[in-house]
Amino acid sequence: MKVVLQRAKNAAVSVDSEIKGQIDRGLMLLVGVTHEDTEKDADYLAEKIVNLRIFEDENGKMNLSLKDTEGSILSISQFTLFGDTKKGRRPNFMEAAKPDHANKMYNYFNDRLKALGINVQTGVFGAMMDVSFTNDGPVTLILDSRV
């Protein structure tokens, strides 16, 4: 699994101009799933994300986690994270998981985040979505469950 994590002052996702999920302060996640991903990958990333110390403390140092700040997550499925652009001019998405496996793993990942005490909002899996957010910092990290 790959996750592009962005610290956000606010974030929202809409489908056909209807807001499906929105948060105030927290994290906006783009979540990609590949064929080999298992619940172990989702568990690892969920635990890592909620405990990463990437929010500023009273001294302006990145020393607080999402749990510490009681922030929320806007989680967006993003198969294009596994796009291969090495050859040609059109990305190859062969590494992205098939929709049934991707949806299962994406839902499991979001359920793990919720089980860790986080308010999680989502878009609509497989839909064309409009995502807007204000990147705070900016702070952007790329996490991969493959070690």
Identify the burial level of 90 via C-beta atoms within 10 angstroms of its C-beta, where 0-12 means exposed, 13-18 middle and 19 or more buried: exposed
- The total number of structural domains that make up the chain: 1
Point out which residues pair with 21 in neighbouring strands.
13
Global pTM value? 0.95
Rounded CA gap, 64 and 4, in Å?
A: 19
Q: How high is the pLDDT of residue 87?
A: 94
> Tens place of pLDDT for every residue, the chain, 147 residues?
999 999 999 999 999 999 999 999 999 999 999 999 999 999 999 999 999 999 999 999 999 999 999 999 999 999 999 999 999 999 999 999 999 999 999 999 999 999 999 999 999 999 999 999 999 999 999 999 986
Q: How high is the pLDDT of residue 141?
A: 98
**80 given a catalytic annotation:** yes
Any idea what the CATH number is for the domain that residue 110 is in? 3.50.80.10
* DSSP reduced 3-state for 13: strand
Q: Residues 34, 69, 80, 140: which is the catalytic one?
A: 80
DSSP structural state of residue 37: -
* DSSP reduced 3-state for 54: coil
Contact status, residue 56 vs residue 40, Cβ threshold 8 Å: no
Q: How high is the pLDDT of residue 147?
A: 66
Q: How high is the pLDDT of residue 88?
A: 93
Point out which residues pair with 77 in neighbouring strands.
31
For 29, 143, 147, the CA distances from 85, given in Å and listed in that order, are 22, 19, 22
Q: How high is the pLDDT of residue 23?
A: 98
In terms of DSSP H, where are the helices of the chain? 39-51, 66-69, 99-115
Q: How high is the pLDDT of residue 14?
A: 97
Domain hosting 14: range is 2-144
Outline where DSSP puts E strands in the chain: 2-15, 18-23, 26-32, 55-56, 62-64, 72-77, 119-122, 130-144
